[in-house]
Amino acid sequence: MQSDKELILYVDDEEKNLDSFKVIFRKEYNVKVANSADEGLAFMEKNDVSLVITDQRMPNMTGVEFLERIYGLYPDVVRVILTGYSDEEAIISAINKGKVFRYITKPWKKEELQQTIDYALDAYRLRHENKELMHKLSKANNELDEFVYRASHDLRAPVASVLGLINLSKEEWDVTKLKEYVDLKEKSVLKLDSLIKDIIQFSRNSHLRINTDEINFEELVKTSLDSLKHFQAAALIKKTFDINVKSPFISDQFRLEIILDNLISNGIRYANLDSDEPMLNIKIDSDQEKAIICVSDNGVGIDHEQKDKIFDMFYRGTDDNTGSGLGLYIVKETVDKLKGKITVKSSLKEGCEFTVTIPNQVQQ
């Protein structure tokens, strides 16, 4: 089966040439043929073609004209033209207008054409890899610019608040007021600490290699819940967890801590304390293939229009500015690092349910 390989389109108005090309190369490549330039263009509208090989002398549209059309419509497609020895003008025109990768003189030899096809497909793959790398580099640069700007702003805000409160404290003798200033300074420092923690998680997740640890989910959940006791709402929320481990689970413990810490802290931070019983539930099922981590709450929820934005860097879904806006972005990046996926179900004022699926690396 060649369907998983790059698609080659061979265009020639002579049936015997089409048949010959198919017979010779059908085992090595995923080959399709067309008997005119118009048929070739129609085929390319519906299929992702990597390489086009065309004869020059065809009725209605020459090979050069065909390649020129392709260059305008599908610039990433690699183009090869077959010409006679006497078609020097066509060769020059193909190079200038059709931006051909290579030309082959007729009658062609299998070895020469096969080598050209291999080189052309390598060039196609390289173009796509470069394109993907450039896209990733551009994304990384844009995110870095935004990260530096927003992080520096969010770091300075609590520092400025603390400095202002210190100056007020120097001139205040009322004990009640001083205690109020201390409480406000504590809130600013906790916000600063939370942002620094997010920045550290972001950096370590981006640069550290993937570790393979045997995961104790119960211990991870308990540690995460214990570390979040300082949250004001934590004591008011009923927290339950249900863990079902069918076989040893191997993954990166540090990154799973990131995922659990952020999802659980979100459930606590955005709890609906006006409800009869604010709750947070963690359910984990794991087997030889994967772990499914579900963190649900009956908190303030997420508006339908915001669901596509919650994993964006520095996005805050509510007016509450206690969070950095990095948490869910870091969760998504971490899940991607572990080759997993994350989904969310939520409605405004009805809570959230985040489901994370992580592959078990014991299989790899």
pLDDT for residue 356 is more than 50:
yes
Question: Do 218 and 247 belong to one domain?
Answer: yes
Question: Do 99 and 178 belong to one domain?
Answer: no
pLDDT tens track for 259-271: 998 899 888 888 8
Contacts of 237 (CB under 8 A, 6+ apart): 267, 268, 271, 278, 279, 280, 297
Q: What average pLDDT score do residues 328-335 get? A: 89
pLDDT at position 41: 94
pLDDT tens track for 163-184: 888 888 888 888 888 888 888 8
Looking at residue 81, which CATH number applies to its domain? 3.40.50.2300
pLDDT tens track for 90-130: 666 666 665 788 888 888 888 888 999 999 999 888 888 88
- Asked whether residue 114 is domain-assigned, the answer is no
**What percent of the chain stands above pLDDT 90?**
31
Question: Do 203 and 215 belong to one domain?
Answer: no
Q: How many CB atoms lie within 10 A of CB 309?
A: 13
Looking at residue 158, which CATH number applies to its domain? 1.10.287.130
CA separation for the pair 228, 201 (Å, rounded): 16
| Radius of gyration from C-alpha coordinates of the chain | 30
Structure tokens given for 27: 């085992």
Residues across the chain? 364
pLDDT at position 181: 85
pLDDT at position 1: 40
Question: Do 215 and 345 belong to one domain?
Answer: yes
pLDDT-based confidence at 304, cuts 50/70/90? confident
- Asked whether residue 169 is domain-assigned, the answer is yes
Question: Do 221 and 361 belong to one domain?
Answer: yes
pLDDT for residue 10 is more than 50:
yes
Structure tokens given for 191: 């916000």
Query: What's CA 179's distance to the chain center, in Å?
Result: 47
Question: Do 179 and 54 belong to one domain?
Answer: no
Question: Do 58 and 191 belong to one domain?
Answer: no
**What percent of the chain stands above pLDDT 70?**
88
Least confident stretch, 66-70, 155-159, 245-249: 155-159
Question: Do 243 and 180 belong to one domain?
Answer: no
CA separation for the pair 199, 151 (Å, rounded): 8
> Across-strand partners of 242?
283
pLDDT for residue 196 is more than 80:
no
pLDDT for residue 57 is more than 70:
yes
Q: What average pLDDT score do residues 307-329 get? A: 69
Looking at residue 316, which CATH number applies to its domain? 3.30.565.10
Question: Do 274 and 246 belong to one domain?
Answer: yes
Domain end, chosen from 189, 207, 225, is at 207
pLDDT for residue 40 is more than 60:
yes
Top pLDDT among 42 and 158 is at: 42
3-state SS track over the chain: CCCCCCEEEEECCCHHHHHHHHHHHCCCCEEEEECCHHHHHHHHHHCCEEEEEEECCCCCCCHHHHHHHHHHHCCCCEEEEEECCCCHHHHHHHHHHCCCCEEEECCCCHHHHHHHHHHHHHHHHHHHHHHHHHHHHHHHHHHHHHHHHHHHHHHHHHHHHHHHHHHHHHCCCCHHHHHHHHHHHHHHHHHHHHHHHHHHHHHHHHHCCCCCEECCHHHHHHHHHHHCCCCCCHHHCEEEEEEEECCCCEECHHHHHHHHHHHHHHHHHCCCCCCCCCEEEEEEEECCCEEEEEEEECCCCCCHHHCCCCCCCCCCCCCCCCCCCCHHHHHHHHHHHCCCEEEEEECCCCCEEEEEEEECHHHC
Domain end, chosen from 56, 91, 108, is at 108
Question: Do 324 and 360 belong to one domain?
Answer: yes
Top pLDDT among 213 and 348 is at: 213
pLDDT for residue 241 is more than 50:
yes
- Asked whether residue 104 is domain-assigned, the answer is yes
- Asked whether residue 231 is domain-assigned, the answer is yes
- Asked whether residue 301 is domain-assigned, the answer is yes
pLDDT for residue 363 is more than 70:
no
- Asked whether residue 328 is domain-assigned, the answer is yes
pLDDT at position 338: 93
pLDDT-based confidence at 3, cuts 50/70/90? very low
Question: Do 49 and 149 belong to one domain?
Answer: no
pLDDT at position 343: 92
pLDDT at position 153: 64
**Residue 236 structural domain:** 211-364
Question: Do 238 and 360 belong to one domain?
Answer: yes
- Please tell me the total count of domains within the chain: 3
Strands 250-251 and 279-286, by their bridges, are unpaired
Give the predicted TM-score (pTM) of the model: 0.53
Domain end, chosen from 169, 188, 207, is at 207
Mean predicted lDDT score pLDDT of the chain: 84
pLDDT for residue 360 is more than 80:
yes
Q: Is the dihedral of CA 91, 94, 99, 103 positive or negative?
A: negative
Least confident stretch, 54-58, 98-102, 202-206, 310-314: 202-206
Top pLDDT among 339 and 145 is at: 339
- Asked whether residue 113 is domain-assigned, the answer is no
- Asked whether residue 128 is domain-assigned, the answer is no
- Quick check: 247 and 197 in contact, CB under 8 A? no
